[in-house]
Amino acid sequence: MSNPLEMLEVVDENDNVIGLETKGKIHQNELLHRVIHIWFITPKGEIVFQHRSKNKDLLPDKLDATVGGHVEAGMSYEDTVIKEGKEETGINIDITKLMFIMKSITSVYNESWKKLHRIMNVQYAYLYEGEISDLKVEKNDGEGFEAWKIDDLPNLSEGDKAKFIPEDLSEDMLLFFNKVKEMILK
């Protein structure tokens, strides 16, 4: 569960560390900080989405990246991938199957906070060859996992679209998913 007293590094637009602050103050003051996302891709061309807990303060009860997390002070992005991957899926991430995709600054408005969540977002793709049922949800953090065919995402019904974080179905993200599928399943 989210700890507002957890210490995180504040970064500038070039990803240089410029300070250290609690997660609560970072969110309250809309400070730029580091986050990782891992998108598990199956050999069948599916993305495994994590169903966020109904108790999350940011985007509750929605489908999102397989793994996501804040980079704690003193940790690297790769250290965070290994830590969060284990915590959120029960899987020991095989770094040789991990592919760096991109780093970008993302800002998402949080309705409950009435603030922007500003992140230096590093995204990875991971070839996941196991069963969805083998993934273990982190207690109080998620509801489960669902695999969705990348090719089906552009044509979802309105009811299915409502299950996802809206940004995850944007035109840019759909192009991103197709590019990742081509790269990882080549």
- Average confidence (pLDDT) over 126-139: 93
Residue 27 lies in a domain: yes
Residue 1 lies in a domain: no
Residue 2 lies in a domain: no
Which pLDDT score, from 0 to 100, does residue 1 have?
47
Residue 123 lies in a domain: yes
Whole-angstrom CA distances from 153 to 28, 32, 67, 98, 183 are 34, 30, 19, 23, 18
**Count of domains observed in the chain:** 1
Residue 71 lies in a domain: yes
- Average confidence (pLDDT) over 136-148: 91
Examine the pLDDT at 9 and tell me if it is beyond 80.
yes
- Average confidence (pLDDT) over 51-80: 92
Examine the pLDDT at 99 and tell me if it is beyond 60.
yes
Q: Which domain holds residue 51?
A: 7-184
Residue 12 lies in a domain: yes
Q: How many CB atoms lie within 10 A of CB 100?
A: 12
Whole-angstrom CA distances from 156 to 9, 66, 152, 162, 169 are 38, 19, 7, 10, 10
Which pLDDT score, from 0 to 100, does residue 2 have?
62
Residue 100 lies in a domain: yes
Residue 28 lies in a domain: yes
Q: What is the CATH number of the domain that holds 144?
A: 3.90.79.10
- Average confidence (pLDDT) over 9-21: 97
